[in-house]
Amino acid sequence: MTRLSCFGSMVALSLLTGCYSPMMTQPGRTAIEQQVTAAAIQACVDQLDTRDIDRAVAYRLSVSTLEDVDLDWVRACVQDRLFRDGIRVTEDPTALGHIEAVVAFAGADYESTLIGIPLFVPGTPVALGDISLYKSRTQIGRARLALHVWREGHLALIVPEVQDSRYFKNESYLTVIGSFVSTNIADFRAPGDEQDDE
């Protein structure tokens, strides 16, 4: 093999190298990021095993978690699940029962894959575009939570923690063919499809 052909092969391989770059959540939540996170939380809550929680007692409900987790959404999901299971929730501070929703994490990660050439302008830190054979962007919502059930100040029961995730993926081919969307969010509707409910 001549030097020229070897050089050409190296160039071709470098252009087709896949770049995988998982990134942390971007500042300012997008609607999709909120949706994958909310769906992951809901999926966890739906899988909680509440059969051993005493139905004869009314419970105060609280949420313990890290900063930046949507406390109101977690509380709403857990309260709805308890209501559906016949477990009474009260705001009475003297109630003998207390259910603590313990959220280990709830948020979204962003992953991207590019097989092609990113386009940079000298002096700029990020690519302005790309010429791609294949490109995908995925947002993954992840959550993990458990329930701690307290009676008269004593821990009476721990409902084992559940972890789940939901994703939204956008793919394109040959730079201009796409986008193709896939997701496991059960009630997802693409922008513009909302009028179908009217």
Q: Classify residue 36 as exposed, middle or buried by CB count within 10 Å of its CB (0-12, 13-18, 19+).
A: buried
Q: Examine residue 7 and state whether it is found in any structural domain, yes or no.
A: no
Tens digits of per-residue pLDDT, 167-181? 999 999 988 887 899
* C-alpha span between 3 and 133 (Å, rounded): 27
Residue at 196 is within a domain: no
Is residue 20 assigned to a domain? Answer: no
CATH number of domain containing 120: 3.40.50
Predicted local distance difference test score (pLDDT) of residue 120? 74
What pLDDT, on a 0 to 100 scale, did the predictor assign at position 20?
Answer: 43
Quick check: is 13 in a domain? no
Which residues of the chain register pLDDT less than 70?
1-28, 125-127, 191-198
Please tell me the total count of domains within the chain: 1
Q: Which domain holds residue 95?
A: 32-188
Query: What's the pLDDT score for residue 21?
Result: 44
Any domain includes 4 = no
**pLDDT reported for residue 28:** 63
